[in-house]
Amino acid sequence: MDDFDVAVIGTGLAESVAAAGLARAGKRVLHVDPAPRYGGSWSTLSVREAHEVIASGSHAEVGGLSHFSVDGAGNARTTDLAAVRVDPAVCGPAALQCAGEALRVLEQAGGPGTHLEWRPVRACLVFDHSDASLRKVPAARADIFSDGSLPPVTKRRLMRVLQALPVDLCRRAARGQPGALAVDALSRIKQEGFAASQPMVAAARGPEGTLPTPGRVVSEGEALPAALRTWLRETHGLDAGLADLLVHAVAGCDGSTDEAAVMEREEGISNMAMHLSALGTYAPSPFLMAVHGASELCQAFCRVAAVAGATYMLGQPIEGVRMSPGPDGHLNFAGLDLGPGGPAGPTAASVTARFLVAAPSFLRAHGLLLLDGAEAGRDFRPVHAAARAVYVLDGPLCGGDLPGVVALVIPPNDLNPDMPARCVYGVQVDATTQLCPEGHYIVSLSSRVDAECSTADTRAHMRAALDALMNSRAPLNAVPTEEERGPNDVGNVSRGTRPPTVLWSTFSILPLEGDDVIGGPAIERNALPAGVVALGRSPSIGIGSSVEDAVVRGRACVAAICGPDAAFFPDPAT
């Protein structure tokens, strides 16, 4: 077989981005996946395929799931559910950020519409634990002023926060080189001294137990709170509910209340400004959903790689990894031994390549992690996991008041007293995404959990989140008028009636940080043979953050092979 510059194992999103970036950089890329479908943990499965995975016990092959189960098997054979497709193993909601890296690089590769079909997310909604209602995250100044639940003084404080964010810096960063957007935005905020020098209204502390009252200007050189939530509460006088809305839904902190309390101000300001800079670019909200599911994101980048000359082998067994001794005594990657029965042909075959890109789990299975001493004795069991629950409903959330594609955020709360309180992120999609038939909706929820939590407690935690959403009240400014309701909304549950019924569901647990420790800075570069690049799994579960994190990891892989100064997704014409 032909020689290659790089062999990429797996077709998850980070691997697919890396393959596309390397192919567009002029590398000869072989992209191999032993699985019969694209995506790895980003695989989109039909109901039938999900049941086949359960029956065969092959859930570990779907991106390394440690647990996978389904409920509603009796409904699985109905005609309607036969058309349902779900993403059971993605860490977080597989939305695209309108000002994010994924769309940026697809634009550089010919435009998002060339390789991917998408639908706009109508709104981003946050569950308010105080009154079991959903709050719409403001997408424009008009959303703030039209919100009847906010008193005038709170509206002014919220407007002051949004006006203080350096949105123009993020828009300038967006015009820079693809692959550096978030880094550029944060670095420019620091370089231009925004967080320390901009005239901000600080909060004069009120009497004990009352909200602070904004009213004075921060003096030059005065230290501001280091934590984002403290900055929002004390410097700008926002109440706890609004501060949580901004921290979790806009700044993207996916952890517990304690973790949210220590999110750095500069990082949070950068994330919030990025969020605002995305409004109105492709949709009213900052998010888009790919039609046909998360695996379509992977295939979009695979198509980019194929156009640039990459070779693909899906369903190709890998029998071994070949190494050769280098002049310095270290092992060098030399190639792959491919098994029979795949695209390589009926007999075994070998390929040569200079570089190997693979997940740490693959490298560990093939003995390519060269650990010794204390590192060899370390415990690499995951610390955290992503809990993922996907529910197929016979109508939209909020008793029919909330049709369409919407993003969902549930801030940390004791939904299940047996579980640490952490944020739950989700998305509701409808038939316009081609994932379910007319009149059906899919709600996908994700939460970062401690790995030692029991499966039963984790499942109960996710179901409690769904129940909270199904019994909540939709915000009036998120309920579409009759004129706004599209043709897909006609057959939905009538507005203001019963909560929808769960027809079928999946529940899965995906270990997060075990692979990341092995593939990350905790292990020195010499833990890997020369020519081997470990591509760790994303620990992010926020809306769109797992997509962005995968692109960042793919970009880092390209830099490791092509050099730190190499352009990411350069225009072939240049």
Q: Per residue in 560-569, pLDDT tens?
A: 999 988 888 8
Q: Using the structure block, give the residue that is written with the tokens 């410097």.
A: 235
Residue partners of 181: CB distance under 8 A and separation at least 6: 99, 100, 101, 104, 170, 173, 174, 274
Dist. CA 122–CA 132, nearest whole Å: 21
pLDDT at 335: 94
**Token code pair at residue 226:** 């280091």
**Domains in the chain, ordered, with CATH?**
3-44+295-380+513-562 (3.50.50.60), 47-86+384-511 (3.30.519), 140-278 (no CATH)
pTM: 0.83
* Cα 20 to the center of its chain, rounded Å: 19
pLDDT over 90 for what percent of the chain? 25
Residue 471 has pLDDT above 80, yes or no: yes
Mean pLDDT, residues 9-32: 94
pLDDT over 70 for what percent of the chain? 74
Cβ pair 532, 363 in contact under 8 A: yes
* Lowest-confidence region among 325-334, 524-533, 545-554: 524-533
**Position with higher pLDDT, 329 vs 174:** 329
Dist. CA 357–CA 7, nearest whole Å: 6
Residue partners of 388: CB distance under 8 A and separation at least 6: 88, 89, 90, 91, 444, 445, 446, 462, 506, 507, 508, 509, 510
Residue partners of 39: CB distance under 8 A and separation at least 6: 11, 12, 13, 63, 294, 295, 298, 299
Residue partners of 180: CB distance under 8 A and separation at least 6: 173, 568
* Span 440-460, pLDDT tens digits: 999 999 998 887 788 898 999
* Span 269-327, pLDDT tens digits: 777 877 887 877 777 788 999 999 999 999 999 999 999 999 999 999 999 999 998 77
**Nearest residue to 422 (alpha-carbon basis) of 464, 378, 366:** 464
Q: Which residues is 213 bridged to in the sheet?
A: 204
Mean pLDDT, residues 188-196: 40
Dist. CA 238–CA 231, nearest whole Å: 9
